[in-house]
A and B are shown apart, each in its own frame.
Chain A
Amino acid sequence: MSFLLNPFVFAGALGSFESIATVTVGGGGAANIEFTSIPGTYQHLQVRVISKSVNSAGDSGDLTFNGDTANNYAYHSLYGTGASAAAEAGTTRANIPSLRLVTSSSTSVFGAHVIDILDYASTSKNKTVRTFSGDDRNGSGAVLLNSGLWFATPAAVTSIKFTGRSFNIAEHSTAALYGIKA
């Protein structure tokens, strides 16, 4: 039983899914959430996140690997706004927009995200990320499917960082990193 048909249901055989680290944002918020010194002992990584912004207009949580903030990323997004389905893409950019940071005005509502980083420890592949995420705010919100690429190098991913683009990530936002063995 080792499939990746569904990124959050069949993430791996039972017993091969291990918790590596968790970050929960404390009072006042934080500029970023970061995992460092990620061991190369798994086949894939999964990050499970709930997120919110301190800003009343919301914000984006942008993903970078190994401290690389040069224009070495690209992404595609397919999303539903509640009114229409749409897609967008970005190339040669400094990050992958991965987290919808929900407006601070929607009390107690957090966006949810499941992010898979496949073959993260490979030294012969550029790294590809896929994300299923969404937030519903009872009359607004969106559901999204994203794919992202880090094409600078085939280096193993050893650190993952989500940064609030313009504002802090809000208190109670949580990111949990898991490793999946083959």
Chain B
Amino acid sequence: MAATYEPIASVTLGSTSTSVTFSSIPATYTDLVVACSVRFGSASGSRIRFNSDTATNYSSTYLLGQASAASSGRFSSVTSIRNNHIWGDATVASQFTPYGVSIQSYSSTSVYKTALWTYGTGGGLQGSNSETGKIVGLWRSTAAITTIEFAPFNATSYQIGSTFSLYGIKAA
């Protein structure tokens, strides 16, 4: 059987950046996975947009663990899928937040696109503040995804050393 889970593109920031975009994503896979390790210049999280759509076509539901508390909430009819609800992303030098984003059936023209996003800062980030989260996000479009943009949710930038890697998985 043929191996799959192939790297499509990868970015390691050599200078700060206010966004990272994967464009011209081929439709030849079944699912996409993005693995990131990010740090911000100041408090922020990330937002994800597809195909440069900035309209209110996104929504998400999240499950969080923050210190000893678990919670859940949602954003409806918003302009991106986002994380960083309170503490979720790193600003401290040498502390990066890992993201894993799975986008299934990304090239289907029959279904809206659902993304599963997991992230979490390590314990001890900025004292005791840290967060782990799971998000399901929806983009209400049946268009095939050809572009994925990551950007800080607040007015800051991704710091040097942040990495973003895009993989494709092809089903038999």
Contacts and interface: CB of A to CB of B under 8 A. Distances in A.
A138 B140 contact: yes
Contact of B33 (A9, A19, A109, A112): A9
Nearest to A15: B3
Nearest to A13: B5
Contacts of B63: 78-80, 85, 143-145
A85 B71 CA distance: 5
Contacts of B140: 108, 138
B171 A136 contact: no
A180 B3 CA distance: 10
Interface string B136-150: 111010100000000
A50 B171 CA distance: 13
Q: On chain A, which size bracket covers the interface? A: 35 or more
Contacts of B151: none
Contact of A143 (B5, B62, B108, B169): B62
B169 A136 contact: no
A172 to B, nearest CB: 5
A11 interface: yes
B127 interface: no
A65 interface: no
Given A110-B105, A134-B61, 14 more contacts: A6-B118, A10-B100, A18-B4, A19-B172, A80-B134, A82-B61, A85-B63, A111-B114, A112-B115, A114-B102, A136-B137, A138-B138, A144-B63, A172-B111
